[in-house]
Every structure is written in structure tokens, then in C-alpha cells.
Amino acid sequence: MRKTLQLTKVLLAVRSFSYYRQNPKEFLKAIGFIVLILFSLSGLFSMNVVFYKNLFLALKQVNLESTVLALGAVNTVLIILALGVITILSGYYYDGAEYLLALSLKGRELLGAKILVNYFYHLPIAVLFFGIPAGVYGYFGGEGFYYWVTAFLNLFLLPILPLTLVFIVFVLIFRSFSFARKKDLLMYVGGIIGLGAAILIQKFSNTVQMAEKNPGMLVAKFSDPNLINLKLYKIYLPALLTVKSLTGEDVTIKAFSLGANIILSLGLLALGLYTLGRAYEKSLKVGAEGGGGRRRVKGELTFTPKPVFTSNLLREIRLMNREPVYFLNGPLVIIIIPFVFGISFYFQGITGLSEIKKLLGNKAFENYLLAGLLSLGVFLAAATNITSTAISREAKELYYLKSLPVSEKTWLLGKLAHGYVFGIIASLFAVGGAFLLKISGLKALFILPAVLLSALPVLAAGLLLDLKRPYLNWDHPQKAFKQNLNATVGIFFPFMQIGLYWLFFLKFKLSFWPCTVGFVGLSFLIGLGVLFYTLKDAQSSFLKLEV
């Protein structure tokens, strides 16, 4: 147990207060990070408070207020299961597992540390999705001290069982199937599941909005015994025990339910650690050795030469996909943002889309819509951060690249072309949106070249900035992306560029087509200027790159 806690402390990067006292900058960074997290969750917090308050007051009139706790417990488990699958998939293996496996650590200690780390990651989810309904029930129901203590204990118990079950399933899968040893595949699967979790959150948000408009709907919907959440509540024993320990008049039943919940949650955790610890250790060894089964190649291996530029472009695309953290935090944005818009339209019903189509008869509105789609396309094309981190991601390969008979200009043009590959995909999403809204064909097709030409200055500026000020001294690929200030170029530059476009379009009331064509042409000319300067300075800047 002691080794498990020590390893957990290392994985969570927990530092003593004396460390922060000696390093005030680190202390300020930690405080800023905490404030940022709280600010990010503040919207979801207030949304939950409003929803469960309205739900409690509505159901109290028909003596079904305990449904608030049942829904809170079930929703918490479902969300932890969904997010747990993502985080456990992406973090199943240890970084530097070969070193940990050489230490005197048992399999159950390695597995226990991983479960504990994920437990602390998901505890805020329990606070948001169970702590709030429990707090609403206790405050508006006038509950006493015993209720609050029991609710606090149940809050800490809820994440244990779903996370343990996810780990049990994955350990068995990773030991039984060779495809599960492919780390990249697991990251992508986790990303797809993450999109599913986004759908659930969007659906919950839509339910909150409906509840504010029609409180009577809450009673009809959440008093229905056929509601899937309430069916799961009756099946999932820990949720049932949680509610039993918080409601009713019999203190004995409450105490028994709490005790049974503690034994069930901690007992299954202990059982999983002792029975699957060895299997988890073996799966780590296979992963550290790069397992995945032997591959047999039939026939002679041949090498087909390709043009230098094509080979360079293909290498760039493979480099971006080699570390899934690059793809999931960069190019995937051009898929996620249209996906979120589509989900919003879906849950708001077809009526919202129909209203937009009715307004398309107004030429001015159609122009506004085209301008919006063009702006979205430019933002998506540039926000992938491919070019603004292109040099930084090469840190471990610089020695080899400098020895290749490839000119610096060809090398940089391959990186720019890589950015344009995803820029084309982004522009196609914008064109697809135009066709979906029944905008005339020629106007919709205009978006494609307009986006590609307008994206050049941001893509070229990102490449120049990362060539001049790369972030090369990183010890994990994720840091080349997430700790690289150059990545902000893909966020702020498009906003500035699009903001100037809308300023001239709205503030100075310029006609749509002259304003748009001028914006596209000027953007392209500026982009060409930045690109020519980058290529001119490529050789001298490349020679200065050192890790």
C-alpha cells in the first residue's frame, strides 16, 4: 500500500508546501491552473444547480424528490464510465514502463496507482454530478448533520466501482487480444468515445434549457418509471445503496446501506487488484517491448522511389499521426467543431435549421451566412496548429534531418503542404454547410478557394514563428504541442484576421463581394510575402536549430 501511494504521488506530481515556498513562480502557476479549472467548470456547475433545483421543487409536489439523488448517482456513474474509458485507454501504459518494471513493484501496486490516479482525476466529476444534487436535496429538504456526513462519504465512494470495472475489462482485453496493444489505436478509440460523451453533455444541456421553459415537463418526464436512468438505478446496486443511505426515516437501514456500499466498492477494488495485478504487469511488459504480434511479409521487399516533395509530405502526415496526442489536439479540431454544431442543431430540432432556410430568401442574410461559413473555414484551416508546431515536433529527429540531402526549402514546403491537406478538409466542411443550407452552388463552391487562399498568412506565419522560436527541449511529445506558445498562433491570428474582415464588412458597410474578394486577395498576398521571407531565411535558421 505504501509503494502504491508513493507511486501515485509521483504520477500526480504532488509537491510539498515547502517546495512552493522556495519557488513562488511555481506556486503562482499552480494557483492559476486551479483558478482556470474552476472557471472552466463554473458554467457546468451553475447549469447543474439550476437543473436539480427545478427538478427537486417540481418532484417534491408529488413526493418523488428522492429521484433527484437517484438521477444524480446514475448520471455520475454513466459519465465516469464514459470519461473513464477515454482516460484509461489513453493512459493505460506507463511512460517509461521499462524502468518501473525493473523496480521491486508488484503488479497490484502498479495497477493500484493507476486506479488511484484516475480516481483523483474523476473525483471532480462526482462533485459536479452527484455533489450538486445531493447538496440541493439536503439544503431544500432541510436535512441534518447525519445526511451531510453520509452524502460526503457516498461522494467519495461513487467513482471507485465504475473505474475499477473499466480497468478490469481493459486488463482482460489487453491480455487477450493483440490489437489492444497498439497504443495509437487506443488513443483514437478514446477520441471517438469522447465525442459520444460530448453528445450526452449536449443532450443534458438541452434538457436544462427545456426545464427552465417548462417546469411541468420535469414531473412528467422524470416521474416516468420507464425512464432509462431510473431503470439503471434499480439495477445498479451501489446507486440504490447510495440513495437508501440518504433517504427514509429508519437510521438502521441508512447505516446498513452505507456500510454495504463501502464493503461492495472497496471489496471489488481489492479483489480486482489481487486477481488482475499480475495480468496488468504482463500487459505492461508487452507494451514496453512494442508488442502486437509478429508480422509476416510474403515475397520480396521492394522500395519504390517517390518525388522528394511527395516523400516529405507523406513523412509529415505520418509524423502527425505517430503520436496521437498531436492529432487529437490539432487536426481533430476540424472534425470536432462541425460535429458540435451538428449536434446542437440536432437537439434543437429541425425547426432551427428550417428557420435559417426561410431567411435565405433575403440576399443580405445569405451574404452574412456566406461570410460566416468563410470565417469558420479559415479558422478551422488554421486552428490545427500543424505549421506552428512543425519544427518543435522534430526535436528528436533534427540530427537525422540535417544529414539528409534535402533542401531546407523543400523541407518547409512539405510542412506547409501538410497544413493545407487539413485546410482542404476544413474548407470542404464549410462548403458542405453551405450546401446543407441550400445556398446556390456557385456561391457555395466559392468558399473552397477562398478559404485556402485566406489561410495562407496564418499557416506561413506559424511556420516562420516555429522556425525562429521552436520549442525543442521537451521530454514528452505532448509538451511539443501543449507547452508550445507558438500553438496559440493558430487560435489568435485567425481571430484577428476574421475580426478585421467583419470590421470592414459591418462597421464600414462595404458590399459583400468587393469586401470578400479584397479580403481573400489581400490575405493571399500577405501570405505569399511571409512565405517568401520564410523560405529565404530557411537555410540560416535551420543551421541554428539545436536541441
- Per residue in 446-496, pLDDT (tens digit) is 889 999 999 999 999 989 998 888 888 877 677 777 777 887 776 788 888
pLDDT, residue 317, reads: 80
41-55, 496-510, 523-537: lowest mean pLDDT where?
41-55
Query: Could you give the 3-state DSSP secondary structure of residue 511?
Result: coil
Report the C-alpha gap between 461 and 471 in whole angstroms.
16
Question: What pLDDT, on the 0 to 100 scale, is given for residue 350?
Answer: 47
Report CA-CA distances (Å) from 390 to 130, 308, 371: 43, 18, 30
Give the rounded distance of the alpha carbon of 412 from its chain centre.
29
Residue at 319: amino acid letter: L
pLDDT tens per residue across span 179-210: 555 555 555 565 566 566 556 655 655 555 55
- Averaged pLDDT for residues 95-109: 69
Percentage, residues of the chain above pLDDT 70 = 71
User: What span, in angstroms and rounded, lies between the C-alpha atoms of 467 and 294?
Assistant: 40
Average pLDDT (51-59) is 81
Q: What are phi and psi of 307, to 5 degrees?
A: -55, 150
The residues near 489 (Cβ < 8 Å, ≥ 6 apart) are 385, 388, 458, 461, 462, 465
Which residue reads 539528409 in cell numbers? 404
**pLDDT tier for residue 234 given thresholds of 50, 70 and 90:** confident
| pLDDT tens, residue by residue, 331-366 | 666 776 676 666 666 555 544 555 555 555 566 777
Instruction: Give me the numbers of helices (H) and strands (E) for the chain, helices first please.
Output: 27, 0
Identify the weakest region by mean pLDDT among 204-213, 232-241, 494-503: 204-213
pLDDT at 299 over 70: no
Distance between CA atoms of residues 264 and 513, nearest Å = 67
Give the span between the Cα atoms of 430 and 426, in whole angstroms. 7
Contact 133, 214 (CB under 8 A): no
**For 25-52, what is the mean pLDDT?**
73
Listed residue (379, 396, 380) closest to 334, CA to CA: 380
Range from 94-98, 112-116, 273-277 carrying the lowest mean pLDDT? 94-98
- Give mean pLDDT, residues 60-72: 84
The region of weakest confidence among 129-138, 220-229, 277-286 is 220-229
| Length of the chain measured in residues | 547
Distance in angstroms (rounded) separating the CA atoms of residues 469 and 544:
11
How high is the pLDDT of residue 296? Answer: 45
Mean pLDDT of the chain: 77
Rounded mean pLDDT, 21-46: 71
pLDDT at 361: 59
139-164: average pLDDT: 90
Higher pLDDT, 290 or 537: 537
Return d(Cα 392, Cα 474) in angstroms, integer: 9
Smallest CA-to-CA distance from 373 within 429, 449, 457, 421 is with 429
Q: Answer whether 85's CB lies under 8 Å from 193's CB.
A: yes
Question: What are the structural domain ranges in the chain?
Answer: 1-12+47-286, 323-544
pLDDT for 114:
84
Where is pLDDT greater, at 547 or 386? Answer: 386
Instruction: Tell me: pLDDT of 14 over 70.
Output: no
Spatial distance between the Cα atoms of 409 and 533, rounded to a whole number of angstroms? 11
101 — pLDDT class (breaks 50, 70, 90):
low
